[in-house]
Amino acid sequence: MLLLLLPLLGLDIHDLIYYVGVFTIAAKILPLLPSLKKKLLGAPEELNVKNYEKDVVYLFQLPGSPTAPSMCAYAVKVDSFCRLHKIKCEKRNSMMARGKNGLTPFIELNGVEIYDSQLIIEHLTAHFKLQAYPDDKSAAIGHAVDRMIDKHTAMLNMQAKAGKLKDVVTVSASGKVPAILLPILAFVGSRFMKSKLESKIKASIGPYTEAEYRAMLRKDLVQIQTILDGKQFLVSEKPSAVDCTALAHLGVALFGMPSVRTTFDELIDSEELAALKEYLQRLKDTLFGDQFFDPESRA
């Protein structure tokens, strides 16, 4: 299909190889340009929001979809935390913006940049003098579950998407690029992402078979449901910080791209995990109401 489209675009196979190379190099270099400029030229740090409002969180994130506020789970984690604690948050969608650590999301608050979702939440908790959990025991349980979801379950979710990357790229880019270019973008983007993703998964979890990855993901989800144990939320009858992390990783996986089904969808739709799925729907409704989407994607 891809090769058949080349003549229509006035290209041949050599052009394709060239543009794939350019795309790959650009994808690696462009996000690094701001930090390279600062390091090589000694340029001062510049805020993205010059005339900021006091105590307003400016959240820089990847765009979302008609069914998810951002396709970056870590951005949804910060967004959820701000909603939980009624912190005013203004979101800035960007494919290129990066924090000082070269990643997204990051925030600007009162003229200071904070990166990494976990560091952001810790900073907001201290700055606004918040109580993340109702008591020490729930804080201990919440912290342990939070770290499992944020590190282990998140990686297993990514692994589940590895075989559907063409579909992920197609859905993400649909409406943003000419339809005739979608197959090329899906081919190039998925090839680039798959190699990077597989290396990250193997480094984080280890090399396993598809069946073994599936078994690990199922075990994580079953344990999260067991911790829920009939409660409205994970550690109490009201949502807390760990619920924000759960909605980020599990909610985005469930609601973000309903047309792209993965191992996660097969598991969460099973009778065994019915209570967990109900919890995610309840959590989404509690924190976002009917606003769990990116307004720009519906414009």
* pLDDT single digits (tens) 14-39: 444 444 444 544 554 555 555 555 55
Task: Give mean pLDDT, residues 259-270.
Answer: 94
Residue 145 sits in the same domain as residue 283: yes
User: Residue 255 belongs to what domain range?
Assistant: 136-289
- If one counts the domains in the chain, the total is 3
Identify the DSSP state of 174: B
Q: Does residue 93 sit within a domain?
A: yes
Q: Does residue 249 sit within a domain?
A: yes
Q: How many residues are recorded in the chain?
A: 299
Task: Give mean pLDDT, residues 151-158.
Answer: 95
Contacting residues for 217 by C-beta, under 8 A, at least 6 apart:
153, 156, 157, 159, 160, 263, 264, 267
> 90 with 31: CB under 8 angstroms?
no
Residue 21 sits in the same domain as residue 119: no
Residue 63 sits in the same domain as residue 192: no
- Strands across the sheet with 106-109, in order? 89-93, 57-61, 106-109, 112-115
CA 74 to CA 116: how far, in whole Å?
A: 8
pLDDT band for 289, please (50, 70, 90 cuts): very high
Residue 190 sits in the same domain as residue 163: yes
**Backbone φ, ψ for residue 140 (5° rounding):** -65, -45
Residue 142 sits in the same domain as residue 123: no
pLDDT for the residue 275 = 98
> 119 with 78: CB under 8 angstroms?
no
Q: Does residue 50 sit within a domain?
A: no
Q: Does residue 49 sit within a domain?
A: no
pLDDT band for 4, please (50, 70, 90 cuts): very low
pLDDT tens, 175-195? 666 777 767 777 777 777 777
Q: pLDDT at residue 262 above 50? A: yes
Q: Does residue 61 sit within a domain?
A: yes
Residue 122 sits in the same domain as residue 152: no
Residue 123 sits in the same domain as residue 179: no
Residue 281 sits in the same domain as residue 154: yes
- Whole-structure pTM value: 0.82
Interhelix angle for 73-84 vs 117-127, to 10°?
Answer: 10
